[in-house]
Structure 1
Amino acid sequence: MILEHAILNVRPGESPAFLVAIAEALPLMTATPGFIGFELRRCHENADRFLLLVRWETIEAHTIGFRGSDRYQQWRQKLHHFYDPFPVVEHYGEPVVTS
Structure 2
Amino acid sequence: MILEHCDIEIDPAKQKEFEEAILRGVDTVISKAKGFKGYKVNHSIETPSRYLLLIYWDTLENHTVDFRGSTAFADWRAIVGPFFAKPPFVEHMTLVGKST
**Moved beyond 6 Å, runs of 4+:** none
Q: CA deviation at 1:98?
A: 4.3
- Alignment match, 1:52: 53
Please, which runs of 5 or more residues in structure 1 have no aligned partner?
none
Q: Secondary structure at the match of 2:12?
A: coil
Deviation string 1:3-33 (CA, Å, 9 cap, x unpaired) is: 0002111113011111111122112000011
**Given the two structures, how large is their TM-score scaled by the length of structure 1?**
0.90
Aligned equivalents of 1:88, 1:48: Cα separation in 2:
14
2:33 maps to a residue whose letter is T
Which amino acid in 2 is paired with 1:37?
G
Scaled by the length of structure 2, what TM-score is found? 0.89
Q: Say which SS state the counterpart of residue 21 (structure 1) adopts.
A: helix
* Number of corresponding residues: 98
1:36 deviation in Å? 0.5
Matches within 5 A, 1:1-99: 1-26=1-26, 27-95=28-96, 97-98=97-98
For 1:85 and 1:38, locate their aligned partners in 2 and report how far apart those are by CA, in whole Å.
22
User: 2 CA distance for matches of 1:23 and 1:6?
Assistant: 14
Opposite residue 6 of structure 1, the aligned amino acid is C
Partners of 1:56 and 1:80 in 2: CA distance = 21
Give the secondary-structure state (helix, strand or coil) at the position aligned to 1:13.
helix
- Partners in 2 of 1:90 and 1:59 — Cα distance? 10
Report sequence identity in percent. Answer: 35
